[in-house]
Structure 1
Amino acid sequence: MIRALTGFSTRNPWKVIALWAVVGIFLTLLSQALIYRVTQSQSGDFLPAKYDSAAALKVAEERFDVKPDANAVTVLVARTDGKPLTGADERRISAVAKQLGGKRVEMPEPKDDAPTFLAEDYSQTPRVSPAMVAPDRGFQLLTAQLTGNSTDPGMQDLYRAFRDDAKEEFAEAGMRTGFTGGLADLVDTGEKQETTEKIVGAVMMGLIVLINVLVFRSVLAAFVPLLAVVIVGGAAAGAVVGAAMLTGIKLDTSTPSMISVVLIGIGIDYFLFLLFRFREQLRAHPDLPARAVAGDVSARVGTAITSAALTIVAAFATLAVASFGQFRVLGPSIAVAVLVMLLASLTLMPALLAVTGRKMFWPSRALKREPRAGLAARVGDLVARRPLALVLASVALLGALTAGLAGIRMDFDTSGGNQDTPAAATAKEVSRALPAGVSDPTTVYVAAPEGQRLTTERIAALPRALAKVEGVGQVGRTELNPERDAARFDLYLTVETQSQAARDLVSGPVRDAVAQHAPAGLKAHVGGTAAIFADVSTAVDKDLKIVFPVAAVLISLILLMLLRSLLAPAMLMLAVGLGFAATLGASTLFFQHMLDKPGVNFVLPLVLFLFVVALGTDYNILISDRIREEMDRPGPARAAVARAVRHTAPAIATAGVVLAASFGSLAVNAMPSTQQIGFATALGIMLSAFVLSIVLVPALAALLGRSTWWPIRPGRGERGAQHAAPHAGESYAETSYAGQPYPGQPYPGQSYAGQSYAEQPYPGQPRASEPYPGQPRAHPPYYDDLNAR
Structure 2
Amino acid sequence: MMICLGAGISVGGRAAATEDFWIGEAGRAEAMATEGGLQQKPDEHILITARPGTGALDVRAADAAARDAAARMKRLPEVESVSAPIRSKDGTAVRVEIALRGPERDGKKHVDPLLAQTAEVRDAHPGVRVEETGGGSISKGIDELRGEDLSRTEVIALPITLITLLVVFGSVSLAVVPILLALTSIVASIGLSMLASHVFPDVGIGASMILLIGMAVGVDYTLFYLKREREERARSGGRLSPQAVVELAAATSGRAVVLSGLAVAVSSATLFLADDVIFSSIATCAIVVTLVAVASSLTILPALLAKLGQRAERRAERRARRGKAPRRMRSKGEGRITTAMLRPVERRPAVTLAIGLLVMLALAAPLLSLDLTDMGRETHPRAIPAMRTYDRLNAAFPELKTTHRVVVRADPGQADEVTAALTALAERAKGDEHFAGTSELSTSPDGRISLLKLAVPHYGSTDEALSSLRSLRDEYVPETVGRTGAEVAVTGDVARYTDYPEHQENKLPMIIGSLLLVTFAMTVWAFRSVVLGMVGVLLNLLSAGASLGLLTLVFQGTWAEGALDFTSTGSIASRVPLLLFVILFGLSMDYQVFVISRIREAVEAGASTRDAVLGGIRSSAGVVTSAAFVMVTVFASFVALHIMEMKQTGFALAVAVLLDAVVIRIVILPSLMLLLGERTWWPSRP
Q: CA deviation at 1:146?
A: 4.3
1:84/1:136 contact within 8 Å kept = no
Q: Distance in 2 between matches of 1:359 and 1:391?
A: 47
Aligned equivalents of 2:586 and 2:145: distance in 1?
A: 34
Correspondence for 1:688 = 660
* Cα offset, 1:602, TM superposition: 0.8
Residue in structure 1 matching 2:583, options 603, 607, 611: 611
Q: Verify the 8 A CA contact 2:81 2:100 in the aligned structure 1.
A: yes
Please say if residues 639 and 651 of structure 2, whose CA atoms lie closer than 8 Å, have aligned partners that are also in contact. yes
- In the alignment, is residue 533 of structure 1 matched against residue 497 of structure 2? yes
1:544 lines up with 2:508 in the alignment: yes
CA distance in structure 1 between the aligned counterparts of 2:571 and 2:287, rounded to whole angstroms = 29
CA distance in 1, matches of 2:464, 2:328: 63
Which of 416, 436, 442 is the aligned partner of 1:479? 442
- CA 1:361–1:693 in 2, change beyond 3 Å: closer, same or farther? farther
Look up the match of 1:280.
Answer: 231
3-state secondary structure, aligned to 1:544: helix
1:678 aligned residue = 650
Separation (CA, whole Å) in 2 of partners of 1:34 and 1:132 = 45
Distance 1:87 1:478 in 2: 32
Other-structure match for 1:780: none
Residue 192 of structure 1 and its aligned partner are, at CA, apart by 5.7
Contact kept? 2:407, 2:489, Cα under 8 Å: yes
1:78 paired residue among 49, 54, 72: 49
5+ residue gaps in structure 1?
Answer: 1-23, 105-123, 715-789
Kept in 2: contact 1:98–1:129 (CA 8 A): no
The question of 1:28 aligning with 2:28 is answered: no
Superposition map of 1:214-613 within 5 A: 214-245=167-198, 247=199, 249-285=200-236, 286-357=238-309, 359=311, 367-375=328-336, 376=338, 379=341, 383-415=345-377, 417-419=380-382, 421-435=384-398, 438-449=400-411, 453=415, 459-510=422-473, 512-518=475-481, 520-593=484-557, 594-595=559-560, 596-613=568-585
After superposition, where does 1:646-685 map in structure 2 within 5 Å?
Answer: 646-685=618-657
Are residues 1:136 and 2:101 paired?
Answer: no
Q: Which residue of 2 aligns with 1:8?
A: none
Is the Cα contact below 8 Å between 1:221 and 1:360 reproduced in 2?
Answer: no
> Relative to structure 1, is the Cα distance of residues 629 and 488 closer, same or farther in structure 2, using a 3 angstrom cutoff?
same
The one-letter amino acid paired with 2:72 is Q
Local SS of the residue matching 2:36? helix
AA aligned to 1:55 is: R
Partner Cα distance (1:458, 1:687) in 2: 58
- CA 1:150/1:208 → structure 2, altered by over 3 Å: closer, same or farther? farther
Contact 2:157 2:637 in 1 (8 A): yes
Residue range with higher mean Cα deviation, 503-512 or 464-473? 503-512
Q: Return 529-538 or 425-434, whichever deviates more.
A: 425-434
Q: Secondary structure at the match of 2:164?
A: helix
Query: Match of 1:478, SS?
Result: strand
Task: Provide the residue aligned with 1:165 in structure 2.
Answer: 117
**Structure with max Cα Rg:** 1
In structure 2, do the counterparts of structure 1 residues 440 and 253 end up closer, same or farther at CA, with 3 Å as the change threshold? farther
Q: Distance in 2 between matches of 1:363 and 1:533?
A: 64
Helix, strand or coil for the counterpart of 2:642? coil
- The residue type equivalent to 2:251 in the other structure is A
Aligned to 1:203: 156
Instruction: Name the amino acid aligned to 2:44.
Output: V
Residue 574 of structure 1 aligns with an amino acid whose one-letter code is L
Q: Which amino acid in 1 is paired with 2:47?
A: L
Q: Which residue of 2 aligns with 1:3?
A: none
- So what's the TM-score if we normalise by structure 1? 0.77
Q: Is the 8 A contact 1:446 1:488 kept in 2?
A: yes
* Aligned partners of 1:218 and 1:360 also within 8 Å: no
Unaligned 5+ segments in structure 2 are 317-325, 561-567
Change (3 A) 1:92 1:388: closer
Q: Distance in 2 between matches of 1:192 and 1:319?
A: 27
Whole-Å separation in 1 of the counterparts to 2:179 and 2:583: 21
Query: Percent identity of the aligned residues?
Result: 24
Q: 1:219 to 1:420 in 2, by over 3 A?
A: closer
C-alpha distance 554-481 of structure 1, shift in aligned 2 (>3 A): same
Shift of 1:680: 0.5
Q: Residue 575 of structure 1: SS of its match in structure 2?
A: helix
Question: Does the Cα contact within 8 Å between 1:619 and 1:652 map onto a contact in 2?
Answer: yes
Q: 1:635 to 1:166 in 2, by over 3 A?
A: closer
Q: Give how far 1:88 is off.
A: 8.8
Secondary structure at 2:252's aligned position in 1? helix
Q: Distance in 2 between matches of 1:512 and 1:34?
A: 51
How is 1:731-770 mapped onto 2 (pairs within 5 angstroms)? none
Residue 266 of structure 1 and its aligned partner are, at CA, apart by: 0.7
Q: Deviations over 1:429-453 (max 9, x none)?
A: 2333332x50542322233336765
2:320 matched to which residue of 1? none
Aligned 8 A contact 1:73 1:144 in 2: yes
Counterpart amino acid of residue 241 in structure 1: M
SS of 2:405's partner is strand
What TM-score, normalized by structure 2, do the two folds share?
A: 0.88
**Residue from 26, 30, 38 that aligns with 1:53:** 26
- Distance apart, 1:667 and its partner CA: 1.5
* Higher helix fraction (1 or 2): 2
The alpha carbon displacement at 1:213 in A equals 0.8
Cα gap change, 1:237 to 1:503, in 2 (>3 Å): farther
One of 564, 587, 604 as aligned partner of 1:632: 604
Deviation of 1:382 (Å): 5.2
Could you say what the CA RMSD is over the residues aligned between the two structures, in angstroms?
A: 3.1
Q: Which deviates further from its counterpart, 414-423 or 618-627?
A: 414-423
Quick one: structure 1 residues 360 and 85, their matched pair in 2 at CA, closer, same or farther if it must change by over 3 Å?
farther
Deviation at 1:547, TM superposition (A): 0.7
Name the residue aligned to 1:743: none
Q: CA deviation at 1:63?
A: 1.9
Contact 1:567 1:709 in 2 (8 A): yes
C-alpha contact 2:409 2:449 (8 A) present in aligned 1: yes
CA contact (8 A) 2:380 2:644 kept: yes
Shift of 1:702: 2.2
How far off is 1:687 after superposition? 0.8
SS at match of 2:42: strand
How far apart are 1:32 and its partner, in Å? 5.8
SS at match of 1:442: strand
Aligned to 1:775: none
Q: Which amino acid aligns with 1:348?
A: I
Change in CA separation of 1:444 and 1:404 when aligned onto 2, cut-off 3 Å: same
Query: Which amino acid letter does the alignment assign opposite residue 536 of structure 2?
Result: L
Post-superposition shift, 1:511? 5.3
Give CA deviations for 1:219-250 in whole Å, capped at 9, x if unaligned.
111212211222122222322321221x3x32
Q: Report SS of the residue matched to 1:177.
A: strand
How many pairs align?
Answer: 661
On the 8 A contact 1:446/1:486 being kept in 2, the answer is yes
